[in-house]
Amino acid sequence: MCVAVYSIDKSTLLGRTLMHSPVGELELSASVDGIVSVLLVKKNKAESELLDVTEDIGTLAQESIRKHLDQAQKELDEYFRGELTHFNVALDLSGTDFQQQVWRALQRIEYGESCSYQDIAEGISRPKAVRAVGAANGANPVAIIVPCHRVIGKNGKLTGYAYGVEMKQYLLDLEQGNGRSGL
């Protein structure tokens, strides 16, 4: 279920909306070029903080931003229902060259699969950069869409996740067909 209210921030040309999901409220942000972030809303963050509408930035920019937000909401809804295994929404990610390399590698991990931080480091030809891969993984601004939850420890155990290991386990279970109704 999506909240059909958008906020457009004229200074950065970002639009935001809230979305209900089985893992909690998600705040989606988009630029005219694509999704910028998918964040789990902290319980103490008031909805009014997110939906502070500013001046009109122009019809074309608004339409583009809303198109990206609508597509992301649709795809995330389908993902949580177990109907979508690959996201197609445009992304507009900012990060270092290394982070971008790691995030592209994350997108190649198949739905329902997992790999280790070491696997990612080796896959980007940086076998000694395991810790840096972990840091880039943790800096991923579009969790779920860029599936950082699919990266686990070399020993097969779940390791840290920005939104908690319980949410990571939920997403992995969902992809394995063992999804629970929510967290």
Residue at token pair 């920019």: 61
DSSP E strands, 10-106:
14-19, 26-30, 35-40
Catalytic residue among 19, 35, 69, 148: 148
Read off the DSSP letter of residue 99: H
Residue at token pair 């900012």: 94
Q: Sign of the CA dihedral 72, 78, 81, 85?
A: negative
Spatial separation of the C-alpha atoms in residues 59 and 42, rounded to whole Å: 31
Question: Residue 111 class from Cβ within 10 Å (0-12 exposed, 13-18 middle, 19+ buried)?
Answer: middle
Task: Provide long-range contacts, Cβ within 8 A and 24+ apart, for 43-48.
Answer: 47/3, 47/18
Residue 8's CB is within 10 A of a number of other CB atoms, namely 21
148 is catalytic: yes
With H, G, I as helix, E, B as strand and everything else as coil, classify residue 153: coil
Active site residues: 148
